[in-house]
A and B are shown apart, each in its own frame.
Chain A
Amino acid sequence: MSGRHTGEQHSHTVEGTDPQLYVAVHEPGTDAGLRPVMLLHGFSSSAKLNWEDTGWLAALLEAGRRVITVDLPGHGRSGAPEDMDSYAPSRIRADLLQIAFDAGARPLRDGDPASGLDLIGYSLGSRLAWEFGATQHELVHRLVLGGPNTADPLAEFDLVAAQRYLADGTPIADESTAGLLKMAQLLPSNNIFSLLSLVEAIKGEPFDPAEAVPRMPMLLVAGDKDERAASMPELAALGAKAGAMVEQVLLPGRNHTNAVTSRAFKQEAISFLAV
């Protein structure tokens, strides 16, 4: 992998408590002179799994982009705070804004390609990117949303059933809940109770894409076998109605798990953000 990177636990407090988020800024070997790209991973993943092991980081650095990666609370190398507030999507967005500024992102200025911030999200990361773009239009230049959805499967997650299963093995009736929990348990680095705190916080602030719609150009990408992203066209319609330039790409044969490595996805994203 080309380029240098520095990683550290982010400690700039936004709401008085330390969010303990692990942030890394990756410098390209040859800088294209464009704004930084922030990568937002999905539930039960991490910057390493979602973006490094899949080849995204190397591809973006190769394209001359400066990349900011962050692990969500309870994920990857970030801390697992005990207070529920640290997991609220609104709180996470505030922390992301602070992280972007600390990493050198500056508000968009006409004619300055180094100003602003590009965002690439996957799944839960796409939800956060949508909301972040809608509220930070002075900063966000373009959005790439992978595996996006109008609803949030995490908001329908059956927490009681999950907790019962973890306590005594009672099977989980809801298929989506069982699948998400199984995925979360596969990775030893996951703090399962912290992930459940995130689910609970998301239930308190479920995704409502119509509430605030980003108006910057956006690229929506999903596998054509991705059931979790079946409502992507509705998201595209919402964006278009609000005046955003929206492009959609379907990846043949890919599902929610394996769309993320797709070379076509990376190439589309890199060229979409190279303006």
Chain B
Amino acid sequence: MAEISFPLPDLGEGLIEATVLEWLVSPGDQVERNQPLVEVETTKSAVELPSPQAGKVVRTYGGPGDTINVGEPLIVFEVPDNTAGIVGTVPQDEAPKRRVRLSAVLDED
């Protein structure tokens, strides 16, 4: 298993911080992608942030009333190892390499 941390995303309009209103998930919860994670309030409006990731919640940052700056950690997920590396990149399915045995020698690879 690996951990992936997500920061508070850029909420647009030059906003630099948001205040946590209420967490909708807790550590230990298994969440789906796009599932509502947390309600936050900025100087302009209140928004609900959907999950960017499927996985198990390890940690959440900030309780109701706490301020989080854009770019600071918001939530940490635990995900299977083979998905941890693909965040922020285009996942690539590499064709499995075929091994061809030229002899019948029974060694390991």
State the A residues within 8 Å of B (CB): 1, 45, 49, 53-55, 58-59, 186-188, 253-254, 257-258, 260-263
- In the bound complex, residues from chain A placing their C-beta under 8 Å from that of B50 are 55, 58
Neighbouring B residues of A59 by C-beta, 8 Å? 36
Name which of B37-45, B66-74, B82-90, B92-100 contacts chain A: B37-45
Contact of A261 among B43, B44, B47, B64 (CB under 8 A): B47
Nearest CB to that of B14 among chain A residues? A188
Q: Is the interface of A mostly helix, strand, loop or mixed?
A: loop
Q: Are B48 and A186 in contact (CB under 8 A)?
A: no
* Cβ-defined contact, A188 with B13, below 8 A: yes
In the assembly, what is the distance between CA of A120 and CA of B34, in Å?
A: 23
Given A261-B21, A261-B39, A263-B24, are A54 and B46 neighbors across the interface (CB < 8 Å)? Answer: yes
Nearest neighbor of B44 in chain A, beta-carbon distance:
A186
Find chain B residues with CB under 8 A from A258 CB: 21, 39, 41, 46
Is B22 located at the chain interface by the 8 A CB criterion? yes
Please give, as numbers and ranges, the residues of chain A lying within 8 Å of B24 by CB-CB distance: 263
In the docked arrangement, what's the CA distance between A200 and B24, Å?
A: 40
Q: Give the size category of B's interface with A.
A: 10 to 19
Residues on B lying within 8 angstroms of A by beta carbon are: 13, 21-22, 24, 34, 36, 39, 41, 43-48, 50, 64
Report how far A58 CA is from B24 CA in the complex, Å. 15
Does the CB pair A263–B45 fall under 8 Å? Answer: no
Task: From known contacts A253-B64, A263-B36, A263-B39, infer whether A54 and B44 are also in contact, taking CB-CB under 8 Å.
Answer: no
Rounded to whole angstroms, the CA-CA distance of A254 and B65 in the bound complex is 11
Q: Using Cβ atoms and an 8 Å threshold, which residues of chain A touch B22?
A: 262-263
Which residues does chain A contribute within 8 Å of B46, judged by CB atoms?
Answer: 54, 257-258, 260-261
Q: Which residues of B contact A1 (CB under 8 A)?
A: 34
Q: List 17 A-B contacts (CB under 8 A).
A: A1-B34, A45-B45, A53-B47, A54-B46, A55-B48, A186-B43, A187-B13, A257-B41, A258-B21, A258-B41, A260-B46, A261-B39, A261-B41, A261-B47, A261-B48, A263-B36, A263-B39
Q: Which residue of A lies closest to B13 (CB)?
A: A188
15 additional contacts, CB 8 Å, given A54-B47, A186-B44, A261-B48? A45-B45, A53-B45, A54-B45, A55-B36, A58-B34, A58-B36, A187-B44, A257-B46, A258-B21, A258-B41, A261-B21, A261-B39, A261-B47, A263-B22, A263-B24
